[in-house]
Every structure is written in structure tokens, then in C-alpha cells.
Amino acid sequence: MFRFFENLVDPYVAYREKDHPPQGLWPFLRDYAQPFKKVFVLAGVMAILVAAIEIGLIYYMGRIVDLLGSDPAQMWEDYGTELILVALAVLFLRPLVQALDVMLLNNAILPNFGTLIRWRAHRHVLRQSVGWFENDFAGRIANRIMQTPPAAGEVVFQVFDAISYSLAYMIGAAILLSTSDIRLLVPLLGWFVLYGGLVAWTIKRVGPASKAASDARSQVTGRVVDAYTNIHSVKMFAHHDLEVDFAGEAIEEARRTFQGEMRIFTIMDVVLTLLNGMLIVGVVGWALVLWMGGEASVGVVAAAAALALRLNSMTGWIMWALSSFFRELGVVAEGMETIAQPLALTDRRDAPSLKLTDGQIEMADLSHHYGRESGGIQGINITVQPGEKIGLVGRSGAGKSTLVKLMLRFYDAEAGQIRIDGQDISQVRQDSLRRHIGVVQQDSSLLHRSVRENILYGRPDASEAEMIAAAKQAQAHEFILDLTDPEGRSGYDARVGERGVKLSGGQRQRITLARVILKDAPILLLDEATSALDSEVEAVIQETLYGMMAGKTVIAIAHRLSTIAEMDRILVLDQGRIVEEGTHDALLQKAGLYAAFWHRQSGGFLALDDKT
């Protein structure tokens, strides 16, 4: 039974991904709700049926009170069959309808709706560019991915569990009173108007208040996660108190916004109690007046009293349900600021995959300043022949890393083109481009997974033997076998910690090299590939790198010039432009900027701040 309802909707059903998701709140929710349309209709019908049965019970309790005035001896004979049918309906039909209603909500809708939103939101966010992630806190992004689905699920739950039910109940109550005596509608309608005014007042204020509180909570999460992620810096600079104060500002803002939200609920609660008192006195009092005038039966008074008391107990729940509804809408709206952002860097709908034949790279009039007037690169023209090894040298900020990011299409160039084997990389699929490029970066961060999973990230379908061979080539196999983690896993099964913090810089770099070796891409980008290694290990890894380069097109960035001295050609960048080009020996003979770098090195490092 449970499995039937749980499988009514597949949260992973295929769908067309949108580069520009709906920006309005209701279009956003409606877009995610498409697979649930039939289930939502059925849930609405069941909510109405549940309310109708409850109203029917109150009506029948009034009828029983009237029947008590008949001859007891004749009552069973006259109404026995009716009483048995009603009893069977209460014992079997009512639980059945209630069970269907609850299972539609709890088993078919809630688990699957939240899962669908989280799954699709995560897919959409992963498609965002690197630049998009660089402009936000990872913690805040993750927080919104996690809190938006349950908030959207709560919205749906309240629609069917509270709003549909309560509307059907109130309409049923009005019908019941009008069939008893139309004049009983007067106090009920008066109460409806006042209650509607209170609902409107609450809704107008609770939405913005809830969004402000949700924004404040996300700010707290972002600051706390930022401190935890950079805990080494916090400890090294002894900034415990600074981080406490930094988070404390956000925590206090979260408290202040939450206080504002709670004030609205307090006012609502007090006014609601007053209104419900007016409802009870109005409906029951008027029913008594009609009875004393002989215009209403005892059953009508009993039904009116039961209905007023039921509405009294329901209205608080309805108001809280509505408040929760709009509060969660505020959370969804806040989450949309992340998960509904359009993709800034997209592929054409019909973009082909990159077809790499030789590995030639051309950069023509390439310029990129990250939307600023300075920085980045300007007017770069480079042709890298298939199998050629190019070294890039320059001070920090000269534009070397910008070239690498543009090569990987982490950004689209503001001007000019990059072509691989004659194909403009902005016109091919991003994934196909990156599959043909192996990258070893200066920041050799790893995934918080096992060593095996980190190496296989280079080629998930590789065999165990191929993975181990790559680790051995990267001089990583021996130390991997000695690894253990707190859970008792060892060797290739050991977890490396967040960003690989349980390993030394050299160990992380060698696992990164093993990953790239396993990928075996025809184009290699090396961004300070040996910067984290000591001299002894570097000498061994240098041989590994030269082995990796065989038959590949290579672009290597280095501050330690000895690592690129054997390259076919070296390009010197300064202030975003190529100012020198040639082999190591030729550049030394020119006695220019490269020669100055070479002669001013200490221990093989480039004097980055040297302006001579």
C-alpha cells in the first residue's frame, strides 16, 4: 500500500533543463509541480471529502438530538437502519477517506516533491559557471539547496491539509447553518469578514518578515561555514574572537528579524481569540434566541453550538497554517535567489561536441578583464602547435591564470577567440571541451571522499590496475598504502578529509597528478604543478610530468623557472600582454624581463614583486 502511493510520482523523471528558470514565485513552483498535477487534483478532492464528512457528522449529531425527543420504544424500529448505516460510515468510510487523504499527502507528495526540487536545483546550480560560485558563499548556496525543498513541501502540504480543507469546511458550515435557519448565517458571515481581515493583515506582514528572517539565517550559515572551511587560517592568525564577533553580528540580526516575525504571530493570536469569542456568542446566542422563540429545534442549537466550537478550535490552526504557508513561501522566495538564477555561461542548444584531432590551440586577439577596465589580458595572439610544450611566465596578476580559465571556458572571453583544431571553444559543449584537457593546479584540493574515488575522478570507468598504475607513476602508491582514517579505513579506501586536509600538500598534489595521469587527456594545462612539493620529491615528479607530456599539447605556468626551462617555447606575460617569446636560452640572451627573473631567483622561485 505504502509503495503504491510512494511510486505515484517519480521525482527523477526526465525533464528539459532550463537555462533561464521562471523568476516569479508561482511560476517557479508551478514549473516544479508539473509531474504532480494529477496527484494534486486528487489530493484537493480528498481534502474536500474529509471536510464534507466532518460537517456531515456535526449535522447528524444535531439530528440525533432531535430524535431523542421521539418515543424511545419506537426509535430503533423507525431509525435503526439509518443509525446502523451512519455507524458503518463512521467506522469504515470515514477512516478510508482519511487514510487516502493522508497517504496522498504524506507518502505520494511530501517525500517526492522535496526530492524533485532538491535534485533539480542541485543539477541547475552545478551547471553555473565557476565565476558564479566565486561570487557567493558555498555555505549559503548549500543552505538554500537544503532549506528550499522542505519549505516548498510545507507550502504544498498546507494547501491541501489546511487551506483546501478549511475553505471546504467553512463553506459547508455556512450551508449547514443556512439549511437549519438562514438567519444563523448573519453572525457567521460577520465573523467571516473580520476573520478575513485578520488573515489579510497577517499575510501582508508575515511574508516579508519571514523572508527577512530566512535571509538572516542564510547569512549566519554562510559566515559560520566560511570560518569552518578556513579553520587553519583562523587558528594560525589567532582570530577566534574576531570570527565569534563576525558570526555574532549575523546571529544578532537573525534574532532581531525572528523577533519581528514572532510579534506578528502574537498580535494575530490575541485578536483571533477575541474574534472567536464573538463567533461563539453570536452563533450560539442567536440559535438560543431562535429556539426560545420556537423557531429552531434543540438539534439546531446543538449543531450550531458544536459548529461554533469546532470553528473556534480550527481557526487558530488555520491561521497558523496560513502563517506557515506564507512563511515558507518567504523561504522559497529567498532560495530562488540562488536556485532560480539564470545560467550566465551556456552552450548553444545545438552545440556540437569538440572533435579533437591534432591538439592545436590558437588564441586570436584574446582579451578579458572580468568586466573591469583593467587586469586580465589584452590582445593575446598565440598558436600552440600539436604536441608543442609552452611555458608561461610572469609576475602575479600578469594574466597567466586568466588564460587557463579561458582555455577551460570557466569564462567566455570578452573579445577574441580560442580555437582548438579550428573549432571555436565558445561554440562547442563545455563538457566535451574539458574532457580533452587535463589540469594540475597550484591549489590541489581534493573531494572529501576516499583516495580511490579521488583518483578515479579522472576516469571513473578505469580499472583498479589502471588506477594503481597512475598512482605509482605519480609517486603516490607507497604513502597511500600507509594512510588510515578515524573510521578505520586504510589505503585507497581512506577518506582524505574536506579539500584533502588530512594529507600534506605534497601528498595532495601527487594524488591530483595521479588523477590527471589516469584521465590521459591530449591537452595538459599545468598551473604551478609542483609548487607544493619539496625539492627531492619535485625532482622525481618532474620526471613524471615530462613522461605525462609525451605526445600532448602542453601549456605550463610556473614561478619556479627550472620547471619550464626545457619547454619548446616560453612566453613572458606582463600586464596582460605577451612581451617576450622564445626558448630558455634565447630569452636569456635577450637579457630582458625573463633573464631578469632568472637571475633574481632565490632557490628557483620567481621574484614576484620585482619591478626592475
CATH class of 22-339: mainly alpha
Instruction: State which amino acid sits at residue 44.
Output: G
Inter-residue contact 584 to 558 (CB < 8 Å) = no
pLDDT tens column, 497-508: 777 777 877 788
418 forms beta bridges with 363
Mean of pLDDT values over 19-38: 87
Q: Which residue has the higher pLDDT, 173 or 260?
A: 260
Write down the pLDDT at residue 468: 93
Write down the pLDDT at residue 531: 60
Look at residue 398 and tell me whether its pLDDT is greater than 60: yes
Look at residue 324 and tell me whether its pLDDT is greater than 80: no
210 confidence band (pLDDT: 50, 70, 90):
confident
Look at residue 462 and tell me whether its pLDDT is greater than 80: yes
What would the CATH number be for the domain defined by 348-436+567-612?
3.40.50.300
Q: Which string of DSSP letters, residue by residue, matches 350-409?
A: TPPPP--SS--EEEEEEEE-TTSSSSSEEEEEEEE-TT-EEEEE--TTSSHHHHHHHHTT
Mean of pLDDT values over 472-488: 87
Q: Which residue has the higher pLDDT, 541 or 426?
A: 426
Look at residue 610 and tell me whether its pLDDT is greater than 50: no
Look at residue 123 and tell me whether its pLDDT is greater than 60: yes
Look at residue 424 and tell me whether its pLDDT is greater than 90: yes
Inter-residue contact 98 to 50 (CB < 8 Å) = yes
Least-confidence region, from 20-24, 362-366, 542-546: 542-546
Mean of pLDDT values over 19-41: 88
Look at residue 612 and tell me whether its pLDDT is greater than 70: no
Pairwise CA distance, residues 80 & 72, whole Å: 12
Write down the pLDDT at residue 570: 92
Instruction: State which amino acid sits at residue 451.
Output: V
Mean of pLDDT values over 212-240: 83
Mean of pLDDT values over 502-524: 86
Name the grid cell of 480: 597511500
3-state secondary structure of 229: helix
Mean of pLDDT values over 120-145: 83
Write down the pLDDT at residue 604: 47
pTM summary value:
0.74
**Closest residue by Cα to residue 19 from 344, 409, 434, 427:** 344
Inter-residue contact 191 to 278 (CB < 8 Å) = yes
Mean of pLDDT values over 203-225: 82
Write down the pLDDT at residue 536: 61
Mean of pLDDT values over 477-503: 85
Look at residue 576 and tell me whether its pLDDT is greater than 70: yes
Pairwise CA distance, residues 450 & 452, whole Å: 5
Inter-residue contact 509 to 530 (CB < 8 Å) = yes
Q: Where are the domains of the chain?
A: 22-339, 348-436+567-612
Average per-residue pLDDT in the chain? 83
Q: Which positions ≥6 away from 568 have C-beta within 8 Å?
A: 388, 389, 390, 583
pLDDT tens column, 325-362: 877 887 888 888 888 888 888 888 888 999 988 889 99
Write down the pLDDT at residue 602: 46
Inter-residue contact 384 to 522 (CB < 8 Å) = no
Q: Which residue has the higher pLDDT, 182 or 340?
A: 340
Write down the pLDDT at residue 469: 92
Residue keyed to cell 605556468: 557
Tell me whether the CATH fold assigned to 22-339 matches the one assigned to 348-436+567-612.
Answer: no
Mean of pLDDT values over 415-433: 92
pLDDT tens column, 240-292: 888 889 889 999 999 999 998 888 888 888 888 888 888 788 878 878 887 88
